[in-house]
Amino acid sequence: MAELTFGTEDSELEKRLSDELDAINNAAVASDDQTPLSIRLVDDDGVLQGGLTGWTWGGCGGITSLWLASDLRGQGWGERLLAAAEDEIRRRGCDRVVVATMSFQAPGFYLRFGYREVGRTPDMPDGTAKHHFHKRL
């Protein structure tokens, strides 16, 4: 008999679900070239100061996370990370990119660089929203 069990973080389950969904997605879309993307920003001592993670798949790039240490914000590093990601996404043969961000994070940042808001998920915690963006490269 099947049984539901509850927990918190479960990296084994996360990987299995991702693998299973990737198999379904690859069967539905005539592309199985999903490739992770990562860019690190480190200081002279090799300490992580920021970075970007994402993916490319079937002509589309996605940004999952973009973060900068607070003392580097407002100095152009976010723009450099985004431009580097877009360059790599193009190099991988993609012509578009998607990203989502919370209302208290960076919607204005993506709008400044040509991203178009294509959707919004309301009623997130504390009255915030999740903004979904798309950009043709």
Query: Does a structural domain hold residue 21?
Result: no
Max Cα distance, the chain (Å): 58
pLDDT at 32: 81
Give the domain range for residue 76.
33-136
Query: Does a structural domain hold residue 9?
Result: no
Which domain CATH number covers 61?
3.40.630.30
Number of domains in the chain: 1
Over residues 34-57, the pLDDT tens digits come to 899 999 999 999 999 999 999 999
pLDDT at 23: 86
pLDDT at 124: 96
| Whether pLDDT at 26 is above 90 | no
How would you classify the pairing of strands 35-42 and 48-57? antiparallel
Query: Does a structural domain hold residue 10?
Result: no
Residue whose tokens read 């299995």? 16
Over residues 50-100, the pLDDT tens digits come to 999 999 999 999 999 999 999 999 999 999 999 999 999 999 999 999 999
